[in-house]
Amino acid sequence: MADPKPGNAAPAKKAATGAYTPAGVSPNRRARRKYTVRLWAVRHSRFFEWFYNRFAAAFLLLHPVWKFFGYERVERPITFVERHVKDFLFDCRMCGQCALSSTGMSCPMNCPKQLRNGPCGGVRANGHCEVEPDMPCVWVQAWKGSRNMVRGDAIMNVQKPVNQSLRETSSWLRVTAEAAAAREAAAGKDA
């Protein structure tokens, strides 16, 4: 767009129209957010990639612990921690199937269209969102973030449609359980 409206006018205007907004995607909530932490996380995507790899390895090491208590029983506390940590860092929407490693550490569920495969054609010339004019496009940020990452080319992979039944569940535990299962299957094959 030639000259985007500055400030938070657009979400406020949208809210005034009475437009439907799904829970957790409230324009008012957006207006309050400054996107600062989210953008900072994208700028440091390489650090987060490194950190997450360590973190995932640690979680996998703890697999016997999770198994001892039972994955279902640790689900609630882990989800609690995961929600708050990722909400602070990435404005996480708890889709339960985290794609941050493939999206340059910019959460694709913050896109008003919840696109998981790249930007729509409506991105403004200044790199802001078509629907929320004061929000930097999630996917412009994702592309920038992915360029800093070692495995940034994961952004080229076609993502599966979101499984809505996994919402509000822990992505960390699921990844760990799947990795453990894969490891056991590989061990079983070798033996």
**Binding-site ranges for other proteins (CB under 8 A):** 1-3, 14, 17-20, 22, 112-127, 130-131, 137, 139-140, 143-144, 155-162, 164
Rounded least distance, CB 92 to other proteins, Å: 18
Nearer to other proteins, 20 or 72 (CB): 20
Rounded least distance, CB 6 to other proteins, Å: 15
Nearer to other proteins, 75 or 130 (CB): 130
- Asked if residues 169 and 79 have their Cβ atoms less than 8 Å apart, the reply is yes
Nearer to other proteins, 74 or 120 (CB): 120
Q: Which residues pair with 136 in a beta bridge?
A: 128
Rounded least distance, CB 179 to other proteins, Å: 24
Nearer to other proteins, 29 or 183 (CB): 29
Rounded least distance, CB 19 to other proteins, Å: 5
The maximal CA–CA distance of the chain, rounded, in angstroms, is: 65
Rounded least distance, CB 148 to other proteins, Å: 14
Rg (CA), the chain: 18
Which amino acid appears at position 45 of this protein? S
- Asked if residues 103 and 148 have their Cβ atoms less than 8 Å apart, the reply is no
CA–CA dist 76, 170 (Å, integer): 8
Nearer to other proteins, 70 or 161 (CB): 161
- Cβ count within 10 A of residue 66: 19
30 three-state secondary structure: helix
